[in-house]
Amino acid sequence: MASYARFFVSLFDLFSRHRILLYSLTCAILLMSVLTLKKITLHEDIRPMLPDRDPEVTADFFLLQKTPFLQRVLINLELGPEAHLSDALLMADRITPALTPPYFSRAISGPQTFNSGELYSWVMTSLPSLASIEDIKNMERFTTSPGVKKRLFDIYQRLQSPEGWAMKPLFQQDPLGFSAIGLEKLHSLNFLKRMKVENNHFISADGRNVLIIAETAIPMTDSKGARELVNYTQDLLNKNLSKGIKASFLSGHAYTLANAETIQRDLLVILTCASIAILLLLLLFMRNWRAFFVYLVPTSVVCVATAATLWTYGTISAVTVAFGSVLMGISDDYPIFTYFSLRHRGPVSGEGISAVSIPVLFSGVTTMATFSVLFFSGLPGQRQIAYFSIVGIIASLAFSLLVLPHLLRGMKKGEDPLPIEARKARRPDRFLVIAIWGIIIALSIWQSTRISFNGDMRAVSRVPASIRNTEQFLKETWGNFRETGVAVSEGASIEEALEQNERFYEHIKSKIAPGQIVSISPILPSAKTQRTNREQWSVFWTDERTDRLRNLIVREGDKMGFTPDAFAPFFNRLKEKGNVVTLDGLRKAGLGDIVDSFISHEGGAYRVLTLLPDSPEVEALLSVSNGGVAGTRFVSPRRFNRTISKFMTRSFVEFILMASLVMTAFLVLLFRNVKKVICALVPVATGLCFMFGVMGFAGIEFNVFNIVATILVIGLGADLGIFMVSRASEGVDRNTARAVVLSGLTSLVGLGALMLARHPSLHSIGITVFLGMCGAIPAAVLVVPALIHPPRNRPQSEQTE
């Protein structure tokens, strides 16, 4: 211990001789930090709070991002009571061409321009490749005598009307309606269940909405790009708004922007309020101009910790920066304690610093140790917060013990104008205190059983009412296309991926209700299947069968007045083997927009998507235990949230245990006395019980951010416990007592500032820690002394034992 004391005395003496060097070094560190902060770019997205060490979760998250529409901007034009559809169509036609780079790469308000003739022609030429053996067998019912008669009569009737005139080539190529087999397969691409195509535009089923779908290269996580994109889109809509039409749009960028703007506003409010409140508290309690030096420590610490995090990680999450107010509340404890301790001892000296360094360092190390358990977290955001906090605490300890004493030199002993004469107030009855504490603990434990976990990351995202309403409206108007499960079939080549996709489709098509599967498999089978289909087609359409059908059509047609060659193109087609269906062919047929949404090529792998209902039934069907389909991964937003929730629950228990163990170990090391250790744990236990109890009672759900908050409650509660046990059992002076109260208050202010946040993540940290500290502070101030002090009526000899 003597060498430890000599170390601080020596350091103080050294820097006393080289004070300029000390100040220069400190200023240099601060200057470097401030310069680093000039380049700061905040990341407001939720990704840092998603597990990055769990390959399953990472893969699910990656694949969910591939869902069609998730990366796209949807613009909805809603007709008012007086507006006509033509107005909305004209507006869509004005807006769509203006959705251009750099914000948009492409925009469509309807299917690619094609005429129905080309689509029919594509279907007919592709039919031999598309038609399965079941489809071919179904053709037989078209080729019976009654079936042929009916179809020919229908054609005869249609030929009289203008619409029938244009259909003559189709009648000649497909008199029996075989194209219906191919067209039926196109239904499998219908991902907007309530959409129809009219006037070559996407129209809602009720005919009151027009949809524009735009693609953008701006990543959803780019808040700056999101702001520009959202502003551009809003301006464009405002400029082109037609009377009686309401325009709205939805994209992940709107969420990003809403979150970014909220967090940025929150940062300003939180850091400003915390800074001002802490300064006022310091001035109020210290009533000395040197309070500014004390105040410089936490403010400098936030700069240093932010810069260090940037240097280490390259980027910094906005949540971490918001944690700055918490760091201020924690890191000002050490300069406060140093200040009051030195003032109590008179002129600043190495011995005085050495004396105060023990509780200060111990408190700091305990808090750091508690935070360090977050390094084991699977969430990168939590690891970053741990790093940020620990660097901040180290900086605070260094500033408090090495720099601050030199700034406080000249401070006289007894400079203590604070009239805390209230200390003479009667000490409350210890049994009453313990009884009330016991009741509160019991009630809290009872209510804490009702607490629930919410793993849905949307619960901690800021979603303004306007966006929520738009999302709900689009869901009701066009169908729930943003919350579907995605099955991803992967292959090293497109052919391999298509084959896998085909196996998967065959596996599920009979098990999931028709219309619920959105897949390209029926219109883009693998080359192997297409080859098989064509062979089966040739086997079926033998010369004999073709001649028989020709004779039937000619005979029945003759009766109605058709010429013998009226349907010659049809018979020529039957002889053909048919075209191979390719992606390019689909694009030429006007289906490129849709098909391309289902295929991606990234990192050397081809992925083909299938959209499925995100229901428990589908999940059960595709679960590994149920056989699943090897090579295809089913990703469901519902399951993803559940996985996160499970992960959180597991992490939560682990972290509470780890933090508690670490903290207890440090307390044992410090006090080496069971009673004192237990008493020091009282604020922690009370804070946690009270926090969980109130959350359970009020129905506040536990989320991913509350884990950090819980660690904080443990760390801060332990600090209070250490200070109060020291004070109560070792007769610490009244300056120390005041330091304890002031540091508790500044911590409360720093943490409470987070409650002013509008962003759910920050607000939830604030409210949780506030609740915890509301339990921990009274427990430290009232319960710890009541437990540790012997009864007043006991003999003095017993009290001193």
Question: Minimum Å distance from CB 202 to other proteins?
Answer: 12
Q: Which is nearer to other proteins, 166 or 630 (CB)?
A: 166
Q: Which is nearer to other proteins, 172 or 532 (CB)?
A: 172
Q: How many CB atoms lie within 10 A of CB 346?
A: 13
Cα–Cα nearest to 384, from 371, 365, 369, 399: 371
- Size of interface with other proteins, in residues (CB under 8 A): 28
Amino acid sitting at position 378: G
Residue 309's contacts (CB-CB under 8 Å, 6 or more residues apart) are 316, 320, 384, 387, 388, 391
Q: How many CB atoms lie within 10 A of CB 602?
A: 9
When binding is defined by CB under 8 A, the residue of 85, 186, 443, 512 that contacts other proteins is: 85
Both structure tokens of 670: 């410090």
Both structure tokens of 41: 């770019």
| Binding-site string for other proteins from residue 134 to residue 173, where x marks contact by CB under 8 A and - marks none | ----------------------xx-xxxxx-xx-xx-xx-
Q: Decide: is 504 part of the binding site for other proteins (CB under 8 A).
A: no
Q: Which is nearer to other proteins, 535 or 565 (CB)?
A: 565
Cα–Cα separations (whole angstroms), residue 528 to 27, 107, 495, 502: 72, 34, 9, 11
Q: Which is nearer to other proteins, 198 or 617 (CB)?
A: 198
Residues 190-219 interacting with other proteins (rule: CB under 8 A): 196-200
Residue 134's contacts (CB-CB under 8 Å, 6 or more residues apart) are none
Q: Decide: is 115 part of the binding site for other proteins (CB under 8 A).
A: yes
Whole-angstrom distance between the N-terminal and C-terminal Cα of the chain?
A: 24
- By the 8 A CB rule, do 595 and 524 touch? yes
Stretch that binds other proteins, among 19-27, 558-566, 729-737, 760-768 (CB under 8 A): 558-566
Classified as helix, coil or strand, 559 is helix
Q: Which residues of 645-659 are buried (b: 16+ CB within 10 A; e: fewer)?
A: bebbeebbeebbebb
Question: Minimum Å distance from CB 115 to other proteins?
Answer: 7
Q: Which is nearer to other proteins, 197 or 665 (CB)?
A: 197
Question: Minimum Å distance from CB 706 to other proteins?
Answer: 53
Residue 11's contacts (CB-CB under 8 Å, 6 or more residues apart) are 350, 402
Cα–Cα nearest to 487, from 511, 460, 457: 511
Question: Minimum Å distance from CB 210 to other proteins?
Answer: 12
Stretch that binds other proteins, among 84-92, 365-373, 634-642, 646-654 (CB under 8 A): 84-92
Q: Which is nearer to other proteins, 203 or 379 (CB)?
A: 203
Helix or strand run (H / E) with residue 560: helix 543-560
State whether the Cα torsion 242-246-249-254 is positive or negative: positive
- By the 8 A CB rule, do 103 and 228 touch? yes
Stretch that binds other proteins, among 447-455, 562-570, 714-722, 776-784 (CB under 8 A): 562-570
Burial class (CB in 10 A: 0-12, 13-18, 19+), 375: exposed
Question: Minimum Å distance from CB 195 to other proteins?
Answer: 13
Q: Which is nearer to other proteins, 120 or 399 (CB)?
A: 120
| Binding-site string for other proteins from residue 24 to residue 43, where x marks contact by CB under 8 A and - marks none | --------------------
Stretch that binds other proteins, among 55-63, 529-537, 555-563, 691-699 (CB under 8 A): 555-563
Question: Minimum Å distance from CB 504 to other proteins?
Answer: 33
Q: Which is nearer to other proteins, 119 or 408 (CB)?
A: 119
Q: Which is nearer to other proteins, 59 or 166 (CB)?
A: 166
Question: Minimum Å distance from CB 182 to other proteins?
Answer: 17
When binding is defined by CB under 8 A, the residue of 220, 402, 566, 755 that contacts other proteins is: 566
d(CA 340, CA 737): 9
Question: Minimum Å distance from CB 108 to other proteins?
Answer: 15
Question: Minimum Å distance from CB 324 to other proteins?
Answer: 58
Cα–Cα separations (whole angstroms), residue 401 to 52, 300, 392: 38, 14, 14
DSSP codes, 579-594 = PPP-HHHHIIIIIHHH
Stretch that binds other proteins, among 60-68, 81-89, 140-148, 527-535 (CB under 8 A): 81-89
Q: Which is nearer to other proteins, 73 or 170 (CB)?
A: 170
Residue 64's contacts (CB-CB under 8 Å, 6 or more residues apart) are 70, 486, 635, 637, 640
β-bridge pairing 209-215 and 201-204: antiparallel
Classified as helix, coil or strand, 305 is helix
Classified as helix, coil or strand, 652 is helix
Q: Which is nearer to other proteins, 3 or 113 (CB)?
A: 113
d(CA 187, CA 3): 83
Question: Minimum Å distance from CB 55 to other proteins?
Answer: 48
Q: Which is nearer to other proteins, 28 or 197 (CB)?
A: 197
Question: Minimum Å distance from CB 478 to other proteins?
Answer: 18
β-bridge pairing 42-43 and 72-79: unpaired
Question: Minimum Å distance from CB 96 to other proteins?
Answer: 16
When binding is defined by CB under 8 A, the residue of 18, 19, 84, 650 that contacts other proteins is: 84
Question: Minimum Å distance from CB 574 to other proteins?
Answer: 18
Both structure tokens of 272: 């400003």
Q: In the beta sheet, which residues pair with residue 599?
A: 608
Q: Which is nearer to other proteins, 116 or 493 (CB)?
A: 116
When binding is defined by CB under 8 A, the residue of 10, 100, 116, 272 that contacts other proteins is: 116
Q: Which is nearer to other proteins, 85 or 678 (CB)?
A: 85
Question: Minimum Å distance from CB 573 to other proteins?
Answer: 16
Q: Which is nearer to other proteins, 77 or 390 (CB)?
A: 77
When binding is defined by CB under 8 A, the residue of 387, 562, 671, 770 that contacts other proteins is: 562
Question: Minimum Å distance from CB 158 to other proteins?
Answer: 8
d(CA 768, CA 700): 9
Stretch that binds other proteins, among 65-73, 484-492, 559-567, 638-646 (CB under 8 A): 559-567
When binding is defined by CB under 8 A, the residue of 86, 145, 466, 551 that contacts other proteins is: 86
β-bridge pairing 245-250 and 605-612: unpaired
Question: Minimum Å distance from CB 563 to other proteins?
Answer: 5
Q: How many CB atoms lie within 10 A of CB 134?
A: 8
Q: Which is nearer to other proteins, 200 or 649 (CB)?
A: 200
Question: Minimum Å distance from CB 594 to other proteins?
Answer: 17
Q: Which is nearer to other proteins, 399 or 562 (CB)?
A: 562
d(CA 607, CA 493): 9
Question: Minimum Å distance from CB 524 to other proteins?
Answer: 24
Q: Decide: is 561 part of the binding site for other proteins (CB under 8 A).
A: yes
Both structure tokens of 557: 């047609």
Q: How far is CA 261 from the centre of its chain?
A: 16
β-bridge pairing 42-43 and 316-317: parallel
- By the 8 A CB rule, do 176 and 143 touch? yes
Q: Which is nearer to other proteins, 170 or 277 (CB)?
A: 170
d(CA 169, CA 700): 67
Residue 125's contacts (CB-CB under 8 Å, 6 or more residues apart) are 573, 576, 578, 579
d(CA 98, CA 107): 9
Q: Contact positions toward other proteins, by CB under 8 A?
A: 84-86, 115-116, 156-157, 159-163, 165-166, 168-169, 171-172, 196-200, 561-563, 565-566
